[in-house]
């Protein structure tokens, strides 16, 4: 990060308790988001144990480091094991980070959410701190393949700014419905994310083609409907009742945005 001159700005870190169990539920717009969330939370003194895609452990030289940092591998086809490990960490007073979207949203809106965060909070009594991340999508994120079929590569442009916001904690009651609690989280995360997206330094310049910026705010990313076939979402996820065009059929059309 220092080599690239990156600026990570965190706000609301006082909402992260300095001790005791806590769940950080973050939006997901880039592959290295966990790095930026941890950096922004440094003032809390917490080391966050992130629930992370299990195939990261297949990268040579990475598995030992991930295990040593007590991160939790998540196999989306069989997530029960990760749930048990995360529950044990929370009961041991740890800070656990989760990305309840279970993947990066191609539309850069908060997509369908898994119930796991709400379930862990309800079972352990841990507070849920909602976290929004923005700016990191310009470093390394999802996107359509180029004309040669190659996936998007990291953009090493110097001086990128990443903003991370931590919101007031949420409590999931012992008898609260998990779907209702997850929808509540989706509403909060959407508000936080859009607050960051609307910051002047993150807005596209006039006339700029901005596939890294959400369509409903004037960018050229796919709308939620256009991204539906790109987002790989587990069947158990709670579908959005939050965000732009809640029916999932809207947002600016390609024609109204000048095409792509």
Residue 210: the pLDDT is 95
pLDDT for residue 53 is more than 70: yes
pLDDT for residue 144 is more than 80: no
Sheet of strand 72-74: strand arrangement = 7-11, 161-166, 127-134, 22-26, 95-98, 48-53, 72-74
pLDDT for residue 145 is more than 80: no
Contact 215, 197 (CB under 8 A): no
Token pair in block for residue 98: 């989760």
Average pLDDT, stretch 222-237?
92
How far apart CA 260 and CA 258 sit, in angstroms, is 7
Instruction: Of 7-11, 75-79, 100-104, 144-148, give the lowest mean pLDDT range.
Output: 144-148
Instruction: Of 38-47, 73-82, 231-240, 247-256, give the lowest mean pLDDT range.
Output: 247-256
User: Where does the pLDDT of residue 254 fall: very low under 50, low under 70, confident under 90, or very high at 90 and above?
Assistant: very low
CB atoms within 10 A of CB 149: 6
Instruction: Name every residue whose Cβ is closer than 8 Å to that of residue 84 and which is 6 or more positions away in sequence.
Output: none
User: Where does the pLDDT of residue 60 fall: very low under 50, low under 70, confident under 90, or very high at 90 and above?
Assistant: confident
Which of 119, 104, 251 minimizes the C-alpha distance to 185? 119
CB atoms within 10 A of CB 10: 20
How far apart CA 89 and CA 67 sit, in angstroms, is 13
Instruction: Name every residue whose Cβ is closer than 8 Å to that of residue 44 and which is 6 or more positions away in sequence.
Output: 13, 16, 17, 18, 95
Its pTM surpasses 0.85: yes
How far apart CA 156 and CA 186 sit, in angstroms, is 31
Residue 248: the pLDDT is 41
What percentage of the chain exceeds 70 in pLDDT?
93
């Amino acid at each position: 990060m220092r080599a690239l001159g990156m600026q990570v700005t965190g706000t609301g870190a006082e909402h992260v308790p300095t001790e005791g169990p806590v769940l950080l539920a973050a939006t997901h717009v880039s592959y290295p988001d966990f790095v930026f969330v941890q950096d922004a939370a440094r003032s809390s003194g917490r080391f966050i144990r992130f629930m992370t895609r299990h195939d990261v452990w297949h990268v040579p030289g990475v598995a030992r480091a991930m295990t040593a940092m007590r991160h939790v591998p998540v196999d989306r086809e069989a997530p029960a094991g990760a749930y048990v490990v995360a529950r044990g960490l929370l009961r041991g007073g740890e800070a656990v980070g989760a990305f309840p979207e279970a993947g990066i949203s191609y539309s850069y809106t908060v997509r369908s959410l898994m119930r796991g965060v709400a379930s862990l909070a309800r079972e352990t009594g841990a507070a849920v701190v909602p976290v929004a991340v923005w700016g990191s999508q310009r470093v390394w994120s999802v996107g359509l393949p180029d004309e040669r079929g190659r996936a998007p590569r990291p953009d090493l442009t110097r001086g990128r700014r990443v903003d991370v916001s931590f919101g007031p904690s949420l409590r999931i009651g012992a008898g609260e419905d998990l779907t209702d609690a997850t929808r509540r989280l989706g509403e909060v995360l959407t508000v936080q994310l859009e607050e960051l997206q609307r910051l002047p330094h993150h807005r596209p310049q006039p006339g700029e083609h901005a596939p890294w910026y959400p369509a409903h705010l004037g960018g050229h990313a796919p709308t939620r409907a256009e991204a539906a076939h790109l987002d790989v979402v587990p069947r158990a996820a709670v579908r959005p009742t939050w965000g732009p065009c809640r029916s999932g059929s809207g947002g600016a059309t390609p024609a109204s945005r000048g095409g792509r």
